[in-house]
A and B are shown apart, each in its own frame.
Chain A
Amino acid sequence: MQQPIISTRQLRKIYIMGATQVNALQSVDIDINKNEYVALMGPSGSGKSTLMNLLGCLDSPSSGEYWLNGTNVSTMTDGDLAEVRNKEIGFVFQTFNLLPRLSALENVALPLVYAGFSKHDRLERAREVMAAVGLGDRVDHKPNELSGGQRQRVAIARALVNNPSIILADEPTGNLDTKTSHEIMGIFEEIHQQGNTIILVTHEADIALHAHRIVRLRDGLVETDTRNENIVSLLNPA
């Protein structure tokens, strides 16, 4: 059996707000294999954002273990976590989070700056990825010159540019209309087919149906973890 790319054991996160403790995550055990397409669902307050932050190495757990690609990242320092985020994780956010002053190409190349690539290599790689998400002709546009769907595609290109182990998408269609949402989900399906591991955080059931496995959280615990029997595929419509 292959080693899971993500493996958490009794992952727990407690926020201390003044005198009260908030158990955002009680104890989560989850394994995700390479090339899985997982949707993380749950109502607000279920702890899915907390889990997403922990899986994305943006935050450290209060207790428990998190193994990412064979290394225990739950005890890492701030600087090491930054490096892990840079090399292993591609983020796609609901609000795109592109840098407004940089061109689309420079935005895509940004993670490579922190990885220490030369300018030439950076831009070349960024161009490749831009072309892969269908924005080869928009490289020099600033984010505010692009539509919402195009911006999200730039963000996806940025997530892909450093060949990460996992792609974490946090409500990637939350700010988009239905038609554009479908476009974006199509791209996710494509990159999944190319062998990427995708974790999709969403509260929309129809979006979650694109994934192959659905994990539901409630009150900081995994409620259900099931295979998706009716995958909605945009590439091979049923």
Chain B
Amino acid sequence: MRIILRTIRESIAQAFGQLRANKLRSFLSLLGISIGIFCIIGVLSAVDSLEDNVRGSLEKLGNDIIYVKKWPWADLSDSWWDYLKRPNPDHSDYEVIKEKSRFASLTAFHVVIGFKTLKYKSNSVENAVLIGCSDNFSEMFKLEYDQGRYFSPVEYHYGSPKAILGYKVMEELFGSLDPIGKTIKLSGRNYEVIGVIEKAGKDLLNPLDFDECILVSYPNARTLANLKANQIFDTSVTVKAASGVPLEQMKDEVKGIVRSHHRLRPRETDDFSLNELSMISSFFDSFFNILNLLGIVIGAFAMLVGGVSVANIMFVSVKERTNIIGVKKALGAKRYIILMEFLIESIMLCIIGGLIGLLLVHFITKILTAAIDFDLYLDAGNIILGLVCSISIGVIAGFIPAVQASKLDPVVAMRQGS
């Protein structure tokens, strides 16, 4: 056992000696491995980062929130026409759920009315998204305020002409001015700005991006548009499960409440959709699986090329050192020692190649993170994966040359090139 450990140590030292002695050649051969590892780990890291980012964004929708909507987020198994004929969930649905649900901790309602033009003095913003919100909308989506606040209960109750602006809308309308207390014009009416919502992050997906929104209270929104009649508005009732309540359980409850409220007979199908985060994330799961697979396939081909170049260099190495192998065998080196020597050399070559690839990934993620302001990173799991790949390639690529070297006849080998 001690002899084997010692041989490994000697072989590693010897491998480094070889690498140093043939710098250019070693570098060229491990370049293939570097590129392979770079491809595989680069893609996997990018996908991981993307996935984290997207998942993080989706989390904002809430794991524990059900969206009662006309349209389902996924799985449009019924005909499009059937969905179109459905009524929009309205304020009365919201009231019923809020009153009857025992599993919900919070219920809110909002209606997206559409694009409006806002004016402040001579400045104007087009295409601000007007949303009418229920009183606990802010709580439901955990809105953070850059300045100001949400509607007070009194303001809400009376539908006072107050508005909350998204960050971008505020910037365009007011520039560096303080917007709180200023009066803006919306559809010819005056509104007082009472709050500005914090800027959304730079995530790839922003399911709840309020940057280009203007929020008014639902009672006020009712006076701006005939919400009952118009089917174009996008309305949602959001229901948050109380802590400890499984989402499925609350979903069943909400389903019963809405069905009875809509007076559906037992055999009639639902005329509403209960949407939840997992519907979207399962779609993204398959998407990311495809991306990962793609990265693995591309990287595998690159690694194959790298492996072939390492195998080639090992064959050359064996050929070149035939005489030395012969001498070593004559002096008493057993087969496994020669085998290990070349195998370890091949593995070292691949590990160094892999490390260069990983370093490359590391620097590129750092540069990209700085350049595009999106958090890309190389995590420990991927580093280990990269090293394991390198070692495996080293074993596979080095095996045949190493066996060839170990089987050399010392007499024949010594005669060569001496």
* A-to-B contact residues, CB < 8 Å: 53, 56, 58-59, 78-79, 82-83, 85-87, 91, 93, 95, 97-99, 101, 110-111, 113-116, 158, 162
Contact = CB atoms under 8 A, between A and B. Distances in A.
Contact of A82 (B17, B329, B411): B329
Interface string B327-338: 111111111010
A101 B411 contact: no
A79 B3 CA distance: 15
Given A83-B334, A101-B17, A116-B6, A53 B411 contact: yes
B414 A158 contact: no
Contacts of B411: 53, 58-59
B21 interface: yes
Interface in B305-353: 323-324, 326-335, 337
A83 B332 contact: yes
B10 interface: yes
Interface in B170-202: none
Given A101-B17, A110-B328, A116-B2, A82 B414 contact: no
Given A53-B411, A113-B10, A116-B3, A82 B418 contact: no
Contacts of A79: 334-335
Interface in B392-409: 409
B256 interface: no
B159 interface: no
B72 interface: no
Contact of B332 (A53, A59, A97, A115): A115
B331 A91 contact: yes
B87 interface: no
B334 A97 contact: no
A91 B327 CA distance: 10
B148 interface: no
B323 A114 contact: no
Contacts of A87: 332
A82 B410 CA distance: 10
A166 to B, nearest CB: 14
Nearest to A100: B324
Contacts of A101: 17, 21
Contacts, number: 61
B327 A82 contact: no
A97 B327 contact: yes
A97 B335 contact: no
Contacts of B329: 82, 85
- 8 closest Cβ pairs, A-B complex: A86-B332, A114-B332, A116-B3, A95-B418, A97-B327, A82-B334, A111-B331, A85-B332
6 contacts: A59-B411, A79-B335, A82-B335, A83-B334, A85-B331, A98-B327
Nearest to A101: B17
Contact of A114 (B2, B17, B21, B333): B333
Contacts of A162: 332
With most chain B CB atoms within 10 A of its CB, the pick from A56, A58, A79, A82 is A82
Secondary structure at the B interface, as helix, strand, loop or mixed, is helix
B333 to A, nearest CB: 5
A78 B6 CA distance: 22
A91 B330 contact: yes
Given A79-B334, A83-B332, A58 B410 contact: yes
A148 B10 CA distance: 28
A59 B329 CA distance: 12
B335 A93 contact: no
Nearest to B7: A113
B15 to A, nearest CB: 12
B418 A97 contact: yes
Given A101-B21, A116-B2, A85 B330 contact: yes
Nearest to A161: B331
Contacts of A85: 329-332
Nearest to B14: A101
A97 B414 contact: yes
Interface string B6-21: 1100100000010001
A231 to B, nearest CB: 29
A99 B331 CA distance: 12
A114 B335 contact: no
A110 B331 contact: yes
Most chain A CB inside 10 Å of its own CB: which residue of B3, B332, B335, B410: B332
Contacts of B323: 97
Given A79-B335, A97-B414, A113 B330 contact: no
Which of A53, A83, A85 is most buried by chain B, counting CB atoms within 10 A of its CB?
A: A85
A87 B333 CA distance: 11
Contacts of B418: 95, 97
Nearest to B9: A119
A79 B334 CA distance: 6
Contacts of A97: 323, 326-327, 330, 414, 418
A99 B324 contact: yes
A196 to B, nearest CB: 17
Nearest to B323: A97
Interface in B365-418: 409-411, 414, 418
Given A114-B328, A158-B331, 19 more contacts: A56-B330, A59-B409, A78-B334, A82-B332, A82-B333, A82-B334, A82-B335, A85-B329, A85-B331, A85-B332, A97-B326, A98-B327, A99-B324, A111-B332, A114-B334, A114-B337, A115-B332, A116-B3, A116-B6
A98 B3 CA distance: 23
A58 B17 CA distance: 28
Contacts of A111: 331-332
A78 B414 contact: no
Contacts of B7: 113
Nearest to B415: A95
A53 B411 CA distance: 7
